Structure 1
Amino acid sequence: MSGAGRIWGLHLGLIAVLFALQFLLPAYHHGNLARIMVLASYAVGYNILFGYTGLLSLGHALFFAAGMYGMGLGIQHGGLSPAPALVLGIGAGAVVSLALGLLALRTSGVAFMIVTLMFAQAGYLTILYFGEYTRGDEGFVIQSAQRVLWGIDLSEPSNRYFAALVLFAACLLLSLWLIRRPFGRTLIAIRENEERVRMLGYDTQAHKLGAMVISGTISAAAGAFYGLLFGYAGASFGAVPHSILPLLYVLLGGAGTILGPFMGALFMFYLIDLSSGVTTAHMLIAGVALVLLTLFAPQGIMGELRRRAFGWLP
């Protein structure tokens, strides 16, 4: 089998396995995996900016929240049905990511991190300030009757799982296609040596802005789907700690690998889930696991697999 055939076969195979699991998993893990796929989609968006372009953002919760509240407020106060509300949420994330990219990409390195963090915090405070509409920290519930998309009740577990799978499959395959295109190859080159790429005549600012918009739009789609599938929008999803989650997922799974975000989200979700049943200090266990992985598998789970055995992994 050719290299391209193996790559597409692996990723399509993962989607097929996830599709089959919805008929095999018990209810608890069925619900968990649906949530993991949405969070992994969030991490896929983050990976395009951080893993492939080399830009470390600390403000991706802003895009996730833009998608979630664009969708949620459209349903709650605009009377929209789920389909246009999802489009509104994703569009809001695209606009916010474009605006932030135009400002933040005037900086680089630590300054870029601080600017993205600052705007994410501003977004979180905006949610709190307009509590009359957003309900602030309390958030608001999206009722089951408002979560019917094209006659499909997304509050029903099987439908929710399938919708999460459709989102994850779309984000995964889009990421794979993008990175194998000249645009994606240029992003990787920018990550490795931006000055050389600029010297070769490429507009690195335009490429980085494109990566920012694509990354933010995918993250917003994850936020919009999360709110719709699980029926809740709250300010905590726009807080700074929620910007750290995709970074952890990508680092654990392998930055700059297509499957890394999913593996990292799966690993971290169940590590926290299982350890919280043993101790209230479950985040300490997660922190120790992260330190150990950083020491002994610095390229993350998929990164180490690629380095040690499967060099063809994208």
Structure 2
Amino acid sequence: MNDATKTLILHGGLLVLLFALQFVLPAYHHGNLARIMVLASYAIGFNVLFGYTGLLSLGHALFFAAGMYGMGLAVRHFGLSPAPALICGVLVGLAVSAIAGLLALRTVGVGFMIVTLMFAQAGYLTVLYFGEYTRGDEGFVIQQAERILWGLDLSDPTNRYFAAFCLFALCLLLTLWLVRAPFGKVLVAIRENEERARMLGYDVFAHKLAAVVVSGTLSAAAGAVYGLLFGYVGASFASVQYSIFPLLWVLLGGAGTVLGPFIGTLFMFYLIDLSSGVTTAYMLIAGVVLVALTLFAPQGLAGEVRKRLWRGLP
């Protein structure tokens, strides 16, 4: 069996499994998995930039929040229906990522990390400053009547699950195609040796900018869908915390692997969920587990599978 067939079976099998779980999961885990799929889509966007291009952004919450607020404000203040509001959220994320990329890519290494963090903080403070429209820390609720897409009530658990599944499937398949296309291979070449990629005649800046835009747009789409499916838009999603989360998810699951973001998000979500049921110091338990994984599985869970079992894992 060649790598292409294995890849199709693995990723297609995951999507079939997630689709089937809708019909058997109890209500609590059903809701959790819908949330995990949306957050994993956010992590997939982050992984395009960090895992495949080698650019560590510490401000990815800027793009997630841009999509969320682009959608939410369009519904709240302009009365748009969900479909055009989602498009607004994605377009806002695309524009913000393009502007941030053009400016941040003038720096390298630690400088890039600091600039992206500053941009995210500027976005967070902007949300707070314009509290008259954004409701600041309090945020605002998107009413049930405003969450009906093509006749489907997205507040209904079944419709919400399938909407989250469609977003995740789209992001997963798009990333799988991207990393196997020539563009994705150039991104990996830049990650491994930027100077050699430049010597081979590739426009490194253009490819890195495209990676920022793709990454930011996917993250914005996740933010827009999250706000619509769960009916809330708030400043906490623009905070540093939501810039650190995707980094943890990707590192745990395996940077530079297509399935890594989903595995890391699922693992981290339930690690915190189960730990909080045991003790109020649940973050201590989570921290110990994370340190252990960092020591004994430094390439992440999917990364260790690629290292030990299947070298061709995308």
TM over 0.5: yes
1:54 maps to 54
Deviations 1:280-303 (A, max 9, x none): 221222221111111000000000
Alpha-carbon separation, structure 1, partners of 2:2 and 2:305: 19
Alpha-carbon separation, structure 1, partners of 2:262 and 2:134: 30
1:13 maps to 13
1:137 maps to 137
State the secondary structure of the residue aligned to 2:275. helix
Alpha-carbon separation, structure 2, partners of 1:290 and 1:47: 19
Alpha-carbon separation, structure 2, partners of 1:147 and 1:277: 32
Alignment of 1:102 onto 2:98: no
Alpha-carbon separation, structure 2, partners of 1:235 and 1:215: 21
Alpha-carbon separation, structure 1, partners of 2:83 and 2:257: 31
Gaps in structure 1 of 5+ consecutive residues:
none
Deviations 1:234-289 (A, max 9, x none): 00000011100000000000000000000000000000001011112212222211
State the secondary structure of the residue aligned to 1:91. helix
Alpha-carbon separation, structure 2, partners of 1:94 and 1:280: 40
2:217 maps to 217
Deviation at 1:10, TM superposition (A): 1.0
Alpha-carbon separation, structure 2, partners of 1:301 and 1:289: 13
Over the aligned positions, Cα root-mean-square deviation in angstroms equals 0.6
Deviation at 1:2, TM superposition (A): 2.8
1:183 maps to 183
Alpha-carbon separation, structure 2, partners of 1:310 and 1:118: 39
Alpha-carbon separation, structure 2, partners of 1:121 and 1:275: 30
Alignment of 1:205 onto 2:205: yes
The number of equivalent residue pairs is 314
Deviation at 1:9, TM superposition (A): 1.9
For structure 1, which segment, 61-70 or 4-13, has the greater mean C-alpha deviation from structure 2 after superposition?
4-13
Alpha-carbon separation, structure 2, partners of 1:122 and 1:287: 29
After TM superposition, list the pairs within 5 Å mapping 1:1-314 onto structure 2: 1-314=1-314
Deviations 1:98-152 (A, max 9, x none): 0000000000100000000000000000000000110000000001110000000
Alpha-carbon separation, structure 1, partners of 2:116 and 2:46: 13
Alpha-carbon separation, structure 1, partners of 2:286 and 2:88: 35
State the secondary structure of the residue aligned to 1:77. helix
Deviation at 1:11, TM superposition (A): 0.6
Gaps in structure 2 of 5+ consecutive residues:
none
Deviations 1:42-64 (A, max 9, x none): 00000000000000000000000
What is the letter of the counterpart of residue 14 of structure 1? L
Alpha-carbon separation, structure 1, partners of 2:307 and 2:257: 11
Alpha-carbon separation, structure 1, partners of 2:206 and 2:14: 33
What is the letter of the counterpart of residue 24 of structure 2? L
State the secondary structure of the residue aligned to 2:63. helix
Query: TM-score, with normalisation over the residues of structure 1?
Result: 0.99
Aligned-pair identity in percent equals 76
Deviation at 1:5, TM superposition (A): 1.8
Deviation at 1:72, TM superposition (A): 0.3
Structure 1 segments, 4+ long, off by >6 Å, are none
For structure 1, which segment, 2-11 or 117-126, has the greater mean C-alpha deviation from structure 2 after superposition?
2-11
State the secondary structure of the residue aligned to 2:312. coil
What is the letter of the counterpart of residue 117 of structure 1? L
